[in-house]
A and B are shown apart, each in its own frame.
Chain A
Amino acid sequence: MPDPVLSVQDLTVEFNTEDGVVHAVTEVSYDLFPGETLGIVGESGSGKSVSVMSMLGLIPVPPGKIVSGQARYQGRDLLTMPKKQLRNIRGGEVAMIFQDPMTSLNPVLTIGDQIAEAIQTHHPGTSDGDARKRVVHLLEVVGVPSAERRFDQYPHEFSGGMRQRAMIAMAIANDPAVLIADEPTTALDVTIQAQIVEVMRAAQQETDAAIILITHDLGLIAELADRVVVMYAGRVVELSDVYTIFNAPRHPYTVGLMNSLARVDMDQEWLKPIPGQPPSLLNRPPGCAFHPRCEFSQGRERCRTEVPALRSFGEGGMHLSACHFAEELAAQHVTAGAAAVEASS
């Protein structure tokens, strides 16, 4: 196993708000290995974006606060690094793609200028001409037609899909080692989503970057991810390779997710959502945060009082689950989600 390019250990992030302390991220740990695509799945408010943004220093520090933990990029801890160094890494070696390309691009600057800016910030001394050439090349890589002409256009002259391509081009401009995509397809039409998946594959090929893919779209995970981190209420509840997550999940929440998928190839009378609501991060339930909604818990004492640790499960040590009774689950379930993975591979 090669060394991870990014290693998050016990990251805890809180926000001080008027209504109290929001525990956005609690003791989150995962590794990112070179060349792989790591998916982070969870509902809105599960902490998936915050964990990543706080690593890059993108959360506002009051009211936000990184309470503890480490985020090691190539051995150096991003959280304690001097700001200037972090800034160098941000956009250069670790780049990010955001959710809504319309609002994520500056409306008064041309697309070309914005991408060139990314290049010239991290490679000072690059002439405008050279920068332009590189930008045009990047636009071609991501599949923007008439790249030369598009350089001088403004974001509002691009379609939604093209804007996201431009954002991806901006992110890979400096050949990053890590590419973080935060809900890259959520704001787009379904047909465009498929195209963006291709673009991301092309981007990964071009740069050999490792990708962190944050999304709540399980279909996207099935398409692109190698390993998956499942987050709930600010904690990691399960971590494994994508086949296992879909085929044989070992946490009730993941089981619930898989069961709730709409299936074209099966007879379903009712969609089976996970009952209840995600918990408020201001006041999480004691013990396991999922227990109020958990079918398998059945009100057991341990679930209600003790926070389950993320522990290794099964052979190989690469399957982690945060459930007290994960072994029981193993005995019961094979889920319908398995076929989804088969279909896409």
Chain B
Amino acid sequence: MTDPVRPDKTTLHASVGSSGSPPDPRLGGGGAIALPNDPLAESPSLELSYESGVELKARSQWAYARIRFFRHRLAVASLVVLILVALVAIFAKQIAPYGYDELDLDNIAASPTLEDHHWFGTDLLGRDYLSRVIFGVRTSLWVAVFVAVLSTLIGTAFGAVAGYYGGTVDNLLMRFTDLILTLPGLAVLLTAAAYLGSSSSQVGPLTISQPMKVGLILAFLFWTGLARIVRGVFLSLREKEFVEAAKASGASDMRIIVRHILPNCIGPIVVTMTLIIATAILVEAALSFLGFGIQPPNPALGSLIADGQVQGFETWWLVTFPGLVIVIIALAVNFIGDGLRDALDPTQRIRA
């Protein structure tokens, strides 16, 4: 016989504690639980005594998620790393020992050394590589975040509408994403970048810088994935009773979407957004490497690697360091994404 008084609530965190001496049940009992509409409240012969030695502490969902996240040492370490990297990127001008284009003609093509802060060596023109990498990180990072935010916004909007309204709207969206997905991603991006993204443009009073254009192109491809996920959640939740209840109490569609269903998507959305950041960094680097991404004079890690290719074997550091930095950042972001996934959606339990 399962207990009818208190259905399972998964957000309760059971902390095993000592219960001390049990209260005298004849006095009404400490911890007697009288819930509204509790039939037991009206049958006088029974009294509840204490819960059997287990104290229940209710915590909010977010607090619980935070606890779960911080249990992941890798994710936490990655978060620290990423914050450091972000700080370096934001304060690039102050931190970098040299300017992006500054020539140090005494030290052309020097291998990495501790002198003169040339920790990453210099390139063929004598420019300090550490500084160049730092500036490259800055660009790559903000473009990646830009892509993630933009594609999340677009994707969520589209996915919510398609998932909630279904029917023709949904159909159209699916056909559209099918169209986009028929072609291999990189090819589409290359084509778009080649034809559209090679210089900055003016749209009225706004100047869209070239890197931002690259970001726009990337976002255009990435929002489809997120839209699918959001749509999936909406489709499954649309039929649930709480939506019916909201409708019955006169809530508008918009309100239902935003206040009732959307909060359920936050988990997958945040996780996907994190993964998009990682993917965006990698893809943008590939585009820049091939010459179709961020164009000079804007610094980019991919172009650094491409330029460093020229004498790849004698000047190995020109190729190695930017790539290593990309790997570290992408790794950190992926670990954080993994930690977030465990924290926000423990039912998935794909223990990496």
Contact = CB atoms under 8 A, between A and B. Distances in A.
B25 A298 contact: yes
B26 interface: yes
A332 interface: no
Contacts of B53: 279-280, 283-286
Contacts of B42: 270
A20 B46 contact: no
Contacts of A283: 16, 52-54
A260 B39 contact: no
| Interface size of B as a range | 20 to 34
Interface string B45-65: 111111111100000000000
Contacts of A292: 22, 49-52
A275 B46 contact: yes
A279 B39 CA distance: 22
A20 B3 CA distance: 24
Given A280-B54, A282-B16, A275 B22 contact: no
A43 B25 contact: no
Nearest to A19: B16
B56 to A, nearest CB: 10
Contacts of B6: 277
Interface in B253-279: none
Contacts of A289: 52
Interface string A285-314: 110010011010011000010000000000
B253 to A, nearest CB: 36
B16 A270 contact: no
Interface string B14-53: 1010000010111000000000000110110111111111
A283 B54 CA distance: 7
Given A216-B1, A257-B1, A276 B49 contact: yes
B52 A280 contact: yes
A169 B338 CA distance: 44
Contacts of A260: 1
A75 to B, nearest CB: 37
Given A44-B2, A275-B46, A284 B40 contact: no
A278 interface: yes
Contacts of B250: none
Contact of A299 (B24, B39, B45, B48): B24
Interface in A230-279: 256-257, 260, 270-279
B12 to A, nearest CB: 12
B1 A43 contact: yes
Contacts of A279: 52-54
A277 B3 contact: yes
Nearest to A285: B52
Contacts of A19: 16
A44 B3 CA distance: 10
Contact of B26 (A274, A276, A299): A299
A5 B29 CA distance: 47
A283 B39 CA distance: 28
A323 B52 CA distance: 18
A286 B21 CA distance: 11
A56 B110 CA distance: 70
A280 B54 CA distance: 8
Interface residues of A, number: 31
Contacts of A277: 3, 5-6, 51-52
Given A283-B16, A283-B53, A273 B5 contact: yes
Interface in A180-213: none
B19 to A, nearest CB: 9
B169 to A, nearest CB: 32
B3 A270 contact: no
A290 to B, nearest CB: 9
B4 interface: yes
B42 to A, nearest CB: 8
B329 to A, nearest CB: 32
A292 B148 CA distance: 54
A284 B54 CA distance: 9
Contacts of B52: 276-277, 279-280, 283-285, 289, 292
B1 A273 contact: yes
Nearest to A233: B52
A14 to B, nearest CB: 16
B6 to A, nearest CB: 6
Contacts of A278: 3
A272 B49 CA distance: 17
B25 to A, nearest CB: 5
B31 to A, nearest CB: 10
Contacts of B54: 279-280, 283
Contacts of A280: 14, 16, 52-54
A293 to B, nearest CB: 8
A219 to B, nearest CB: 13
Contact of B48 (A216, A256, A275): A275
Nearest to B54: A280
Nearest to A293: B49
Contacts of B49: 276, 292-293, 299
Nearest to A282: B16
Most buried by A among B2, B24, B45, B47: B2
B270 to A, nearest CB: 25
Contacts of B16: 19-20, 280, 282-283
B22 A299 contact: yes
A289 B1 CA distance: 16
A259 to B, nearest CB: 10
A19 B22 CA distance: 24
Nearest to B45: A295
Contacts of A282: 16
Given A283-B52, A292-B52, A299-B24, 18 more contacts: A270-B42, A272-B43, A273-B4, A273-B5, A275-B40, A276-B48, A276-B49, A277-B5, A277-B6, A279-B53, A280-B14, A280-B54, A283-B16, A283-B53, A284-B53, A289-B52, A293-B49, A295-B46
5 contacts: A280-B14, A283-B54, A293-B49, A299-B24, A299-B25
Interface of A: 19-20, 43-44, 216, 256-257, 260, 270-280, 282-286, 289, 292-293, 295, 298-299, 304
